[in-house]
Each structure stands twice: as C-alpha cells, then as structure tokens.
Amino acid sequence: MTGNSLETHWESHLKSLDIFLQKSQSEKAIKCSFFQEAFLTLSAVNVSSCKLFDTYFGIFTSGIWEEKSDEISFADFKFSITHHFLVQESSDKEGKEEVLEDAIPQSMQDLLCMNNDFPPRAHCLVRWYGLREFVVIAPAANNDAVLSESKCNLLLSSVSIALGNTGCQVPLFVQIHHRWRRMYVGECQGPGVRTDFEMVHLRKVPNQYTHLSGLLDIFKSKIGCPLTPLPPVSIAIRFTYVLQDWLQYFWPQQPPDIDAIVGGEVGGLEFGKLPFGACEDPISELHLATTWPHLTEGIIVDNDVYSDLDPIQAPHWSVRVRKADNPQCLLGDFVTEFFKICRRKESTDEILGRSTFEEEGRETVDITHALSKLTEPAPVPIHKLSVTNMVHSAKKKIRKHRGVEESPLNNDVLNAILLFLFPDAACDKPLDGFTSTGNNNPSIDNEEYNLYNQFKSAPSDSLTYKLALCLCMINFYHGGVKGVAHLWQEFVLEMRFRWENNFLIPGLANGVPDLRCCLLHQKLQMLNCCIERKRARDEGRKSTLSDFASSTSAGDFGKAGDSGQDHLKETDKEKGEVGKSWDSWSDSEEEYFECLSDTEELKGNGQESGKKGGAKELSCLKPEGRLHQHGKLTLLHTGEPLYIPITQEPAPMTEDLLEEQSEVLAKLGTSAEGAHLRARMQSACLLSDMESFKAANPGCFLEDFVRWYSPRDYVEEEVVDEKGNVILKGELSARMKIPSNMWVEAWETAKPVPARRQRRLFDDTREAEKVLHYLAVQKPADLARHLLPCVIHAAVLKVKEEETLENISSVKKIIKQIISHSSKVLRFPNPEDKKLEEIIHQITNVEATIARARSLKAKFGTEKCEQEEQREDLERFVSCLLEQPEVSVIGAGRGHAGSIIHKLFVNAQRLTESSDEAASMAPVEEELKRTSSSEERRQNSGSDFPAPAGRELILRTTVPRPAPYSKALPQRMYSVLTKEDFRLAGAFSADTSFF
C-alpha cells in the first residue's frame, strides 16, 4: 500500500469518525438527556467532593442503558462504532449559563465517584472506569482483531484527532487484541485536559501485586506526582467468596415414587396430579461480596505478611446467587415429552403391531347364526361395570400377537388408571341411574376453574382433563407412546361398551357439547348425548309396554278398543314384542319400525281423508303428544284450548359438524334455487314442531301455530264490529304473507304426527357411530394435539398452586403473561409448534424460579425462624435474591442473614478440610456462641472463609500532572485478581495547557 493511498484511507476513516461523533452530540443536544444538560450544574463544583454524586447513587445499576451502532471502514477493514450511554432525565437547566469555561468533562468527574463502584450488572468499561457514557471502536467481525502495535497507534492517533476536531468530551475506546481478552485503550479530551485510558492483562500475576501495598506502589509510580508529600489515596476494596458446597443440605425435592402410585399407597387420585419441582438443586453457587467502600492509605494494612481485611469486619456485604443452567424440572419435562408425541407420524396400529379392533377369529368366521341372533328371544344379561370388565378384548388381542410381558401397560397400572377415569366402575349397584359429574362442578365464578374457557381445553374435573393427565403420566413413566396408544385403545373400547349398554360417561357436564372446550371433549359430550337419547327412548317404550301389560292382565281390552283404531293397531304390534328385551333391538330396526307405523296410523287416523276433507275432519282426530295447556290461548276456529306439544330437541352439534354444515350451505350459492334449498335444509326442526303441534291440537291452523311459536309474527289490533263493540282482530305479519313463504309450505306439508313417532331430528345411532369411529382412527399425534391445551391448562394451575405457597410477586406477573399468551395461541385450531414451545418454556422457567425460591428458603432456614420479624426479613431477602442481580445484606456479617451466610461458609470449609472431622465436630451454632466476642470471632474467621475468588481494588486521587503548577485532575486505577486472570485498568489525567 503506497503512502498516498494510506493517507487517503486514513483521512476517509477520520472523516467517518468525525461524522459519527458530531451526530451523537447533536442527538444528545436535541434530547437533552446527556451530560450537556444533565450535568451542567455539576461542572462548577469541586470534583473531589463526593457529595457531588449523592443524587446519582446506584444509578448505573438502576438506570437504563442504551446503545447506538454504526459501521466505519479503514481501507478494506471494517469497524463497528458503538455509543453507550445511560439514559437520564435532564437536570435543572437554570445553571446552564453559569457553567465555568474550564470545567472538566463529565467522564473525569465520574472517575472520582464512589457511589457507583462495583455495579453488579454493567458493561466492563463501566465497572473498570465508572463511566456513564463512552464510545467503543471494535473490529466488525468477531474473528478480526487489531494485533500489531502500529495499527493500534494509527487508530489511537485518529481517535485523538477526531476528538480534537469535534470538541467531543465523551471518552473514545479502541478494542485491541483478541475479543475474549477485553483489552481497550482510549482517550478523553476536554478544555486543556486529557485523560488516557490504559490497560494491562496477564495470565499470572506477580506476587508483589497480589496485595494492596504492591498496587499502591504501581499507582504512585504511574502518576509520577511531583508534589511532596503525595495527596492521600482513596481506596475501595471488594473481596468475593464463592460457596459451591451444599452437601450439608439435602435437596428437598424428591422424585415421584412410581411404585407407590401403582401400589395404591397414595391412592388413585395421584393420577390426577402433575409432579412439580427440580430434580437437582437449581442454585449452584452463592457469591458473597465483602466491600470496604471508603478507606484511606494510612488506616489499612494489606501486604504479603499481614492483612487487616477481615471479611467479618467488612462494613458492607452483598450476595448474588448463580443459578444452575437448565435444571431438570419434573413439570417441564412432563409437558415437553407429551408435546413430542405431536410430531410422531405412526398410527395406533403401527405402534402396537396390529389393529386391536379386529373381531376375534371365531366371531368373524362363524356367521351362520347371524339371523338366529337377531331373532333370539332371550335377552342377554348385562353385568355391572367393573375394572375387570373394562380390561377386555383389546388386552386379549394384544396378548395374542405379543407376549404378556411385552404389553406396554401391565394390569395393575391399567386397572388403576381406568378406575381413576371411571370411578362408577367400583359401584356395587347397576349403573342405569348413574349421572355425569357435571352437576357437581365448582362455582362458575371460580376464575381458576373457568380458565378452560380461555385455553379451549376442558373443565378441571372432567373426564377429558383427567385423561390428558393420565396419558401424560403414562407417556413419561410407562412405555412412552406405546403406553399412550394402549391406554387410548382401552378408552375407545370403553366408550363403545358404554354406548352399547346405555351407561352414561362420567365426568361430563349434562347438555349439548360445549363449544368453548376442545374438540375431543365435545365429541365425548356428543356421545353422552347419544346415550341419554337412547336411554330415554328405550325407557319410554318400556313404560308403555308395562302399562299395556297391566291393562291386559285386568282384561280391559274393551276400553283400549274404544280409544280408536290407531291405538289398536299400535298395541297389536307391540303385543308380540312384550317378551323381547328392548335393548336387543338395533337402532336401525327401531327407526324403520317407527316410519312404517307412521303410515299405518296416519291412515287409521284419517290423515288421507283429511287432505280431502280439510280441517273439519282433522279436528275429529284424537289429540296426542300434549305437554300442557298454553295459558288462556284457544284455537281461533274451534275455540278449543291451545296445547303446547311435546317436541323433539334440536340436534346437538360439535364445532367440526357446524363447520361442515356451514360449508355445505355456503356451496349452495346465492341463486334463488340455492336460497330455497338452504331454507328447506334449515327448516327440519320447524317442520317437526309443526307436526307435533298438529297432533296435539287437531283442527288448528297456521295462525294458531304462529301465535305459540313466533308471537311477533301475529299482529293484533282493536277494531269495531258491526254492533259497535271493540274487538281484537289478528292476522299474520307481512313476512308470513310473502308468496312461497317457507312457513306456509312447511305447514301444508306437515302431518299430525306426535314427536315420539316422527323421524328423529337427531339420529343418535348414526352420530354415536361417527364419534366412535372418529375416536378409533385418532393417531397418538392427533390425540396429543387435542389434549395439549388440557395439559397446558393443568400445568398453569399447578404453577399457580405452587406459587401461592411461596408468594413470589415476579412469578405472579409471569403467570398472568403465560395465561394471556396461551389464550391467544390455543384459541385457534392447529397452533404453531414454535408458539407452543414458547409457552412450555415459560412454564418451565416459572417452575425453576419457584424451585430456586424453595432451595434458598431451605438453605436460609426461613421456616425455622422463631421470631416473626426475622422470618419476614429473611423471606424478603430470598425474594430479592431471585429478582435482583445483587442484594445487600442488612447489618453485613453482624446481621441475621449475615450470620446464616457465615455458618454456610463455615460448614463448607469444614467439609472441605475433612468430612470425617466435620462429622465429629460440635455444631456450628454452639461454636459461634462460644466465640461470641468480636475479637474472638475476628481471630477465628480467618479459616471460616476460603481464599477470595476475586479481589477488586479501586485507587483514586487528585494530583497535578505533569508539573507541580498544573491543574489538579482525577487519577484512577482499577485492579481485579482472580485465579486465572489479572487486570489493571488505569485512567490518568494530565493538564495540556500548563505542562
């Protein structure tokens, strides 16, 4: 590279640097948030006064730091330039005009500030030099470094010129050597003053520099002050001790005892609970920082022979804890492992080897007696439910193709789970009258109970919720995905058993499917609706048969004959079926039987003639299916009382069926024909109600039906008749008179058929089979997707329950955020895996935080405190350790928390020296009582603490440099010594006007 090209690149680099500095200063002037306004009044005060910084105590830790970055180049070498600054509100502006011309820069004032020494969380330059604003130039690429001395000097010269050109008083640093060494050199310029920032970094420290006296010698020699005697040097010292050995305390969290769960020692309810806590101690280290913030050179001795720096006597103690990286947490592992099932591709048959829903060979091959089974008169006895009955054909079929020992779930585990899911199986009486547990739900005002509305999961006392928890436990402890597939097939077979034998499913609320819950819960509710309809229908028929049997036994056939031909025909059909179990009839037979009987009965009732004869002949029909009389309303034409009919309930729908229906209706289009067809499809319930109304009110008209069904569509007004009397005259509304009105068409089509003989609006047989098929074809991944909202719901309830015991304010806020985030993610079907992982990660973090709180409380013995005030202080101290980077110990080593920390270190030291000797020694509490005097404790504390893991010292003074008549300026040197690192960071100021 020629000299001209180097000069060109250097000028270009310098120009870029000038522009960045000017831009930074202009932004500061506009925002009034930096030293040009925030510290104008401070410049006129003596820089050696510590009172100058009282208003900024600890602001480096509590304040907000920001940074702005840009890129500059020197030839083809790119640098990143970053402006770091502490955001502050502008101070009083009245002193702006009184600022002295020769005021030193703010960064030089910061060198003497003692109130922000050793900040717990800050940029390394802030810790070393106490700066609140600075600019750093570093190689843009991580693997680039400024290694040669010539390049370093070239950068420093450009820095010096740029600071002079722009008049910028912000320190500017250049990072040299490899990035991991954190080596910086820099400069700060002011009116007639300059500060040079220098640094030394060594792997091994010379022995003479391991104590205070040696470092003072370095500091004084570097200053080279011409005055005699030298001004006093202010000293701040911090020693950091690390406690890693917690062997004297057992970690309180014990893993779940699976044998106890299966063996029944803790009861089946254990299946409904999620585990919680960390399997390892989530607190790995405790760091104790003992600080002497304000010392002078003459009152302290620290050399290679003797030291006055006793940690027990330190005036200030602060503690921080180091948390274990990703501790294993039971709840987080449970949810994570269950979530992994969502990514499996295998079907249940592929996992278990062969379909367990195949019929046994003898059942599939021998079909010669199929017709005899349909006509067999003897009813098949239905035994009561039991755990043994529930573990039926699927278990046998699995064993047929695998050995018993290869089954994913053994009998004990499977029986315990099924009994937990279906507690009615343990009842001693038949379960025909068993009802679901939906009526025993907690109060609807319970916020935690209603959390399922936000998560779209299921109530916490529902079968779906319990199933999710059981599958989660099976996946983690008993066979993984194979165990999940096995339990799911047993569950599906149990659902079919209950459908075929009219046993309600426990743990489901009564009524139609709740669209606020997950789809699987809706499907189970739909199946329960089918069972309820089927039971009600069968019980109604049985009661009819019993009534008929009692009447025939009394010989009261004549009375039955007087009731009409239609009743004779009905009883003739039912007469031959008295000895046959109604449970043996298939639903399809019942349906066709009902349809055929409708035709014959309508003929007997004169429906065919009614079409020709009109309403007068229909009024002669026997009324059927009446519920009760409707107040004072009467039929308009006959004057008979108007009766409310027994009607069919509308068909319940799950959200997938509603979606399918809406798609079908949308595909009909917007044409007139499509609209008409859509209206007919939606009027099935209306037609059924009209037929029931006609059967209950013979001789009625459409106006009568509208008065009951839709009163707003029957308009009444007062009119005067021929005799001058005021009477009410009514007519149908305008929309009812529209040509081709659907109501009119449906009324003309409707026949007087009571609800019990109508074709069912809700075909429970078909819907039940659809649900059972839907359940049977679910893959483990699909099942996990359905139940993951329930698992997350249960996990959130668990962390809320555990947090209540610990009362951690920060955790409460995080739990609210988790609930808000989860409600947004789980509200929609098929949420993204990444978002689900974020929720699980948040739950795991909360679990780890609570485990850390319990670990610290166990170590500090908060529960053992006899005095209430001390216990509250310790709890606040532990809470602060969790939320803050560093916490001050009230009373230092003489306070209650300090004495506990001292005991921890004493125990650790004894265990380190000799575990056998430690076991035979007297308890620490007794020894501390014996050495109660401060002098005795000081003498014995030397062995109570290990060697400091870190020694930090800050030396400060104000001296004239370089000549005796130069301006007195701040000088500072920071030193840190660790096991494998020694660093000196010096800031030395000089007068550039009088030298």
Structure tokens at 180: 């991991």
Residue 890 DSSP label: T
Token look-up 């006509």 returns 375
Please give the helix or strand (H or E) that residue 668 lies within, else none. Answer: none
CA distance 802 to 517: 25
CA distance 98 to 762: 90
Q: Report yes or no on 14 lying in a domain.
A: no
Structure tokens at 485: 């597939």
> What is the amino acid identity at position 876?
R
CA trace torsion 642, 648, 653, 658 (10° rounding)? -60
Read off the pLDDT of residues 475-500 as tens digits, 9 standing for 90 and up.
888 878 998 999 999 999 999 999 99
CB 787 within 8 A of CB 487: no
Query: Which residues have C-beta within 8 Å of that of residue 578, sequence separation ≥ 6?
Result: 545, 548, 549
- What does the pLDDT read at residue 35? 33
CA distance 745 to 676: 11
Please give the helix or strand (H or E) that residue 979 lies within, else none. Answer: none
CB 455 within 8 A of CB 792: yes
Of 711, 743, 765, the residue that ends a domain is 765
CB 362 within 8 A of CB 397: no
Domain ranges, residue 173: 25-44+59-89+102-221+961-991
Angle, CA 235 vertex, CA 230 and CA 241 arms, to 5°: 150
> What is the amino acid identity at position 76?
D
CB 474 within 8 A of CB 334: no
- What does the pLDDT read at residue 546? 62
111 in helix, strand or coil? coil
Structure tokens at 956: 């400060």
User: 231 exposed, middle or buried (CB, 10 Å; 0-12, 13-18, 19+)?
Assistant: middle
Q: Report yes or no on 309 lying in a domain.
A: no
Query: Which residues have C-beta within 8 Å of that of residue 311, sequence separation ≥ 6?
Result: 239, 241, 288, 290, 893, 941, 945
Three-class HEC string of 330-378 = HHHHHHHHHHHHCCCCCCHHHHHCCCCCCCCHHHHHCCCCHHHHHHCCC
CA distance 319 to 859: 14
- What does the pLDDT read at residue 90? 55
Ranges assigned E (strand) in 815-897: 887-889
**How far apart, in Å, are the Cα atoms of 430 and each of 391, 426, 433, 436?**
18, 10, 8, 15
494 in helix, strand or coil? helix
CB 436 within 8 A of CB 508: yes
Q: Report yes or no on 685 lying in a domain.
A: yes
Q: Report yes or no on 736 lying in a domain.
A: yes
- What does the pLDDT read at residue 319? 93
Orientation angle between helical segments 480-500 and 393-401, nearest 10 degrees: 140
Q: What are phi and psi of 326, to 5 degrees?
A: 45, 65
Query: Which residues have C-beta within 8 Å of that of residue 306, sequence separation ≥ 6?
Result: none
- Count CB-CB contacts under 10 A for residue 596: 11
Token look-up 């040009």 returns 36
Read off the pLDDT of residues 497-516 as tens digits, 9 standing for 90 and up.
999 998 999 999 888 899 89
CA trace torsion 621, 623, 629, 632 (10° rounding)? 0
CA distance 682 to 195: 87
Q: What are phi and psi of 529, to 5 degrees?
A: -60, -40
- What does the pLDDT read at residue 547? 56
The number of domains in the chain is 2
User: 701 exposed, middle or buried (CB, 10 Å; 0-12, 13-18, 19+)?
Assistant: middle
Q: Report yes or no on 877 lying in a domain.
A: no
> The whole model's pTM is what?
0.72
CB 594 within 8 A of CB 757: yes
- What does the pLDDT read at residue 346? 86
Q: Print burial letters for 10-29: b (CB count within 10 Å at least 16), e (below 16).
A: beebbebbbebbeebbeebe
Residue ranges of the chain whose pLDDT lies below 70: 1-14, 17-18, 22-58, 61, 89-102, 246-270, 354-406, 427-447, 542-620, 669, 672, 674-676, 678-682, 914-943, 995
CA distance 137 to 153: 14
Q: Report yes or no on 853 lying in a domain.
A: no
Structure tokens at 563: 């009731």
Radius of gyration of the chain from its Cα atoms, rounded to whole angstroms: 44
CA trace torsion 607, 609, 611, 614 (10° rounding)? -110
Q: Report yes or no on 280 lying in a domain.
A: no
CA distance 976 to 120: 15
CA distance 239 to 211: 12
- What does the pLDDT read at residue 182? 92
- What does the pLDDT read at residue 663? 76
Q: What's the maximum distance between 2 C-alpha atoms anywhere in the chain?
A: 139
Residue 497 DSSP label: H
User: 944 exposed, middle or buried (CB, 10 Å; 0-12, 13-18, 19+)?
Assistant: buried
- Which residues are bridge partners to 198 per DSSP? 986
Cβ-defined contacts of 841-846 (< 8 Å, 24+): 842/814, 842/817, 842/818, 843/331, 843/332, 843/335, 843/792, 843/795, 843/796, 843/799, 843/818, 844/329, 844/331, 844/332, 844/335, 844/336, 845/814, 846/799, 846/803, 846/811, 846/814, 846/815, 846/818
Structure tokens at 849: 């935080």
CA distance 538 to 582: 7
CA distance 612 to 615: 9
Q: Report yes or no on 551 lying in a domain.
A: no
CA distance 25 to 231: 36
Token look-up 């005259």 returns 729
CA distance 891 to 364: 84
174 in helix, strand or coil? strand
Of 720, 742, 765, the residue that ends a domain is 765
Three-class HEC string of 196-211 = EEEEEEECCCCHHHCC
- What does the pLDDT read at residue 106? 87
**How would you classify residue 272: left for phi > 0, otherwise alpha for psi between -120 and 50, otherwise beta?**
alpha
CA distance 879 to 856: 9
CA distance 434 to 418: 17
CA trace torsion 787, 793, 799, 800 (10° rounding)? -160
CA distance 128 to 122: 10
Q: Nearest CA to 341 among 178, 145, 487? A: 487
Of 743, 765, 787, the residue that ends a domain is 765
